[in-house]
């Protein structure tokens, strides 16, 4: 089994930013690092753990092992991150980047560099999705549109799936950091140099609390992830609201067409009802009325006048039943005796009830 064990393509970066590349079997690698075979399985998609004074990090496709002296990136060839690994990461570890922890031990810089890269990646995904979603929603909620463009709906569906994936990644990232923040022992274990370098330990006992610095570092990136999650949540709410607006607009146009169809049906019924008079005169029956030349105009006038009156009566009946009901009357004594806080609470309840109406009720109104 050792002869067929997997081989890792390893990228090694030290404190000065020097980079070396090599390939090593998994068995040889975990023996040199003093780890167990299960430590390099990377079972979780996102995790931060410590084993034998080593920090094992995984951010989905990015797998790293941090020691007090160097950083190992495993399977770097499949990551397509050559620019970040060779240009940015090396300079950050050497203290030339914009890291806040440049004055702290090496493991602080390594953790911050990886977390900073992952947050920037999530931020880039959100910046790509946000304008696309806003542009699509602006086209869909146009009240002048009588139909919905299916291509826009397809684009919105794809962007919605991408947004859901982003929300899931942010949630997992926050939960991973929160698990460490909830345990003081885990935070202490992340401070590798505090236990291996006597000088660092003396500095920590003299007033520089490395555990507190590590906690502040993790909290900083947790807050950044929380801000991104709030922005993604606002986009999700905007999509849901726009979907409701689009349905309301479509139902409104549908109701207009149904009302026009109903009016035409009532007009046809009115003409057919008084058209029976003309049908009666059109029969092959003899009477003295057909000899009078004024009877034609009299019967025609009665037909049109009666049809118009019936049609107007039906329209009035339709309008009365389609008007929204009036709000219930509130006595003046009750309004005067109600405190200000109660009025605010009643207003909020009314808003909640209004937004909770069904779509059919809103479109009918």
Q: For 314-364, what is each residue's pLDDT tens digit?
A: 777 766 655 555 555 545 443 444 444 444 443 444 344 434 433 344 344
**pLDDT tens readout for residues 169-192:** 999 999 999 999 888 888 888 888
| Torsional class of 329: left (φ above 0), alpha (ψ -120 to 50), beta (otherwise) | beta
Residue 187, φ and ψ in degrees, nearest 5: -65, -40
- Which is nearest to 176 in space by CA: 236, 225, 210? 225
Q: Is the pTM for the entire model greater than 0.85?
A: no
State CA 266 to chain mean position distance: 47
Q: How far apart are alpha carbons 234 and 212 in whole angstroms? A: 33
Alpha helices by DSSP H, 141-209: 150-181, 184-190, 193-196, 198-205
Rounded Cα distance between 356 and 238, Å, is 17
Tell me how far apart the alpha carbons of residues 157 and 167 are, in angstroms, rounded to a whole number: 15
Mind listing the pLDDT tens digit of every residue in the chain (365 residues)?
Answer: 445 567 888 888 888 878 888 888 888 888 888 888 887 887 778 888 888 889 898 888 888 899 888 899 888 776 677 778 877 888 888 776 677 777 788 888 889 989 999 999 999 999 999 998 888 888 776 656 555 667 777 888 888 899 999 999 999 999 999 999 888 888 888 888 776 766 666 665 555 677 888 889 999 999 999 999 999 999 988 888 877 776 776 677 777 778 778 777 877 777 777 777 766 666 665 666 667 777 777 777 877 787 778 777 777 776 665 555 555 554 544 344 444 444 444 344 434 443 443 334 434 43
Q: Which domains does the chain have, with CATH numbers?
A: 1-81 (2.40.128.330), 98-255 (1.20.58.340), 256-282+295-317 (no CATH)
d(CA 129, CA 62): 23
Long-range contacts of the stretch 20-29 (C-beta < 8 A, 24+): 21/76, 27/2
200 phi, psi to nearest 5 deg? -65, -40
């Amino acid at each position: 089994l050792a002869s067929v064990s997997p081989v890792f393509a390893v990228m090694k970066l030290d404190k000065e930013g020097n980079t070396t590349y090599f390939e090593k079997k998994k068995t040889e690698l975990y023996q040199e690092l003093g780890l167990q075979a299960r430590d390099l399985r990377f079972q979780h998609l996102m995790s931060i753990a410590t084993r034998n004074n080593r920090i094992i990090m995984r951010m989905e496709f990015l797998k790293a092992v941090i020691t007090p002296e160097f950083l190992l990136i495993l399977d770097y060839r499949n990551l397509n991150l050559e620019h970040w690994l060779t240009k940015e990461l090396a300079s950050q570890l050497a203290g030339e980047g914009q890291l806040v922890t440049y004055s702290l031990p090496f493991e602080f810089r390594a953790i911050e560099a990886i977390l900073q890269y992952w947050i920037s990646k999530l931020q880039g995904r959100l910046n790509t999705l946000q304008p696309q979603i806003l542009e699509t929603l602006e086209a869909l909620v146009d009240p002048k549109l009588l139909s919905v463009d299916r291509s826009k709906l397809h684009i919105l569906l794809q962007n919605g799936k991408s947004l859901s994936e982003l929300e899931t990644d942010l949630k997992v990232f926050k939960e991973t950091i929160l698990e460490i923040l909830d345990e003081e022992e885990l935070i202490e274990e992340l401070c590798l140099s505090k236990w291996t370098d006597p000088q660092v330990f003396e500095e920590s006992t003299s007033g520089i609390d490395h555990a507190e610095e590590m906690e502040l570092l993790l909290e900083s990136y947790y807050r950044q992830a929380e801000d991104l999650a709030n922005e993604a949540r606002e986009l999700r709410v905007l999509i849901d609201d726009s979907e409701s607006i689009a349905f309301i607009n479509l139902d409104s146009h549908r109701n207009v067409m149904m009302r026009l169809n109903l009016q035409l049906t009532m007009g046809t019924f009115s003409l057919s009802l008084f058209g029976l008079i003309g049908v009666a005169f059109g029969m092959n029956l003899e009477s003295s009325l057909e000899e009078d030349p004024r009877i034609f105009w009299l019967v025609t006038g009665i037909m049109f006048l009666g049809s118009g009156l019936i049609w107007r009566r039906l329209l009035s009946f339709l309008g009365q039943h389609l008007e929204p009901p009036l709000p219930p009357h509130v006595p003046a004594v009750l309004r005067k005796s109600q405190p200000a806080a109660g009025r605010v609470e009643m207003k909020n309840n009314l808003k909640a009830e209004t937004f909770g109406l069904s779509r059919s009720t809103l479109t009918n109104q």
